[in-house]
Amino acid sequence: MEAFTIFQQIDNGAVHYKDHSDSLPGIKWMKHPSFHGIHLKHMIRGKDTGHIFSSHLVKIGPGCCLEMHCHENHLELHEVIEGDGFCQLIENRFDYRPGKMAVIPEKESHLVQAGGNGLILLAKFFPAML
């Protein structure tokens, strides 16, 4: 039996709601509109959560960076599921590897830099980003 990484299991999984289910392989990966080497899969959207939260898979290519940015009205939770790198806030830097999480307050500038193996995050936004 072939072993799958947590990332592969999530990417090929499903999201179940009270009245429907979404197959995650049916949701397309998209290039980030602003940052090179970043791909996004919008797994849970605000329309399905009463706009309370959204959840996204984020693939950051080896050596690529989500440059310094902030979310004016969203608290963000990063859950690292694969790869390595770091998150830089204005005053703090956190090493990223599987099992690490970071809570980024609204209006807090931050960047995420992938190491040589790339980086895969579950990013959740409160309230929903999309």
CATH number at residue 74: 2.60.120.10
* Total tally of structural domains belonging to the chain: 1
pLDDT of residue 1: 58
Predicted confidence band at 14 (pLDDT cuts at 50, 70, 90)?
very high
Mean pLDDT, rounded, for 121-128: 98
Residue 20, in any domain of the structure = no
Mean pLDDT, rounded, for 102-128: 97
pLDDT tens-place string over residues 79-100 = 999 999 999 998 999 999 999 9
Tokens of 90: 């204005």
Residue 1, in any domain of the structure = no
Residue 21, in any domain of the structure = no
Residue 22, in any domain of the structure = no
Percentage of residues of the chain with pLDDT beyond 90: 95
Residue 50, in any domain of the structure = yes
Residue 101, in any domain of the structure = yes
Predicted confidence band at 4 (pLDDT cuts at 50, 70, 90)?
confident
Q: Between the CA of residue 51 and those of 39, 44, 115, 119, what are the distances in Å?
A: 23, 10, 33, 27
Domain span at residue 57?
A: 6-15+28-126
Residue 77, in any domain of the structure = yes
Residue 66, in any domain of the structure = yes
